[in-house]
Amino acid sequence: MFVLLLFAMASVGMVFTLYLYIKRHVSLRETIIRALDIVTIAVPPALPAAMTVATVYAQNRLKRANIFCISPHRINVGGKLKLVCFDKTGTLTEEGLDLWGILPVHNRFFMAPVGDPTQLPARSPLLVSMATCHTLTTVDGKLVGDPVDLSMFRATKWDIEEPGAASNRYDVLTP
């Protein structure tokens, strides 16, 4: 709102400058440069101050709702979020991580929760992504990696096969 007010004031100044310079028969190039100069003078210097005031105001509103933000600069980013997912890895209650279930999406809407990913169709994009989009690897025959990835992959009941010297195709080059 504040930036809009600044833009309105700059527009009035720009129109007034255009009027004066045209009335005085100043060249078109000089008239346009001076008119646009008004906008660049009015808006940019006040923009950081306006953002700071808006952030402080937003932080106070969040505080009244018992939401405490330790990084006020992130408030502006938070305003753009449409979905937030939390990953609780049992750090407060227990070791390990268990997959509760998954929420398939159909036509941009969540469907009923599925407790066992193997109930999904064998080649469903969700099941395939759970089985392939991870950072897991095998070390000494043991599957290792991020705990979330491990839990997700194990729930699919798929097997991981890493290329070895005998099975790797070294002739295939990718860009």
Instruction: Say if 175 falls within a structural domain.
Output: no
Indicate the number of domains in the chain.
Answer: 2
pLDDT of residue 138: 85
In terms of domains, do 64 and 99 share one?
Answer: no
Instruction: Say if 169 falls within a structural domain.
Output: no
* DSSP β-bridge partners for residue 105: 110
H or E element at residue 137: strand 137-139
Instruction: Say if 174 falls within a structural domain.
Output: no
In angstroms, the CA 122 to CA 112 distance is 18
Read off the pLDDT of residues 150-171 as tens digits, 9 standing for 90 and up. Answer: 989 999 999 888 776 555 565 5
Read off the pLDDT of residues 33-83 as tens digits, 9 standing for 90 and up. Answer: 888 888 788 777 777 787 888 899 999 999 999 988 888 888 888 877 777
In terms of domains, do 6 and 57 share one?
Answer: yes
| Mean of pLDDT values over 115-122 | 89
pLDDT of residue 132: 87
> Has 87 been annotated as catalytic?
yes
Read off the pLDDT of residues 84-102 as tens digits, 9 standing for 90 and up. Answer: 766 665 555 556 677 888 9
Of 43, 78, 113, the last residue of a domain is 78
In terms of domains, do 65 and 99 share one?
Answer: no
pLDDT of residue 2: 67
Of 24, 57, 78, the last residue of a domain is 78
Instruction: Say if 26 falls within a structural domain.
Output: yes
- Phi and psi at 154, nearest 5°, equal -60, -35
pLDDT of residue 1: 65
